[in-house]
Chains A and B, each alone.
Chain A
Amino acid sequence: MASTEIHRYLRVGAQRIALDPEGYLIELNDWTPSVASAMAAEEGRELTDEHWEIIMVLRDFYARYEASPAMRPLVKAVGQTLGSEKGRSLHLMRLFPESPAKVAARLAGLPKPANCL
């Protein structure tokens, strides 16, 4: 679940976006593509088209099911939307290293997934 404790602010243009201790948005409505880019830039990464299409799959998932997916359902959702080539954990691990479900949910402006390690 999204934390309500403001830990720090992320500067995006003229705006200050509140983040929780793990870097997830406090206000889910604050999300814009610029917020995602700024989050990625902080980690020294740039979002490519391949990142964006996953981020949009995640945002659709949340709009439909009111929850952030764990890894398995994320892989399944990506497979259903973008095809089986991309619906693989390897593809997601390459784009969002370490913990794709958590890293990508953060960039997509969703709460931290509850059902994963």
Chain B
Amino acid sequence: MILHILNRSPSSSLVYRDALAGMGPEDRLLLVEDGVQGALPSQVRHFEVVGDRLFALREDLVAHGLDGHCDASVQVVDVDGFVALTEEADKTVSWF
């Protein structure tokens, strides 16, 4: 399993498409920084193919005032959860 980390929102950058193209069937996607906008119900459709392997970083959601606005399909993790995801992954790939 590879952990892909995305820090751009789907409404401002197409990098999310490249990230999705690079994901295998077991890989996970973590939204951080501006990437957390992708967790909004209005945006989350872009990540439909990821299913239940979509995560968003709580600290960034809080910073953006988006905590509580997340789509139910997104798993919210804090920094400790981020570390755990990293440890479970064979490697991480950053998309920016």
Direct A/B contact, Cβ within 8 angstroms? no
B residues whose Cβ falls under 8 Å from a Cβ of A: none
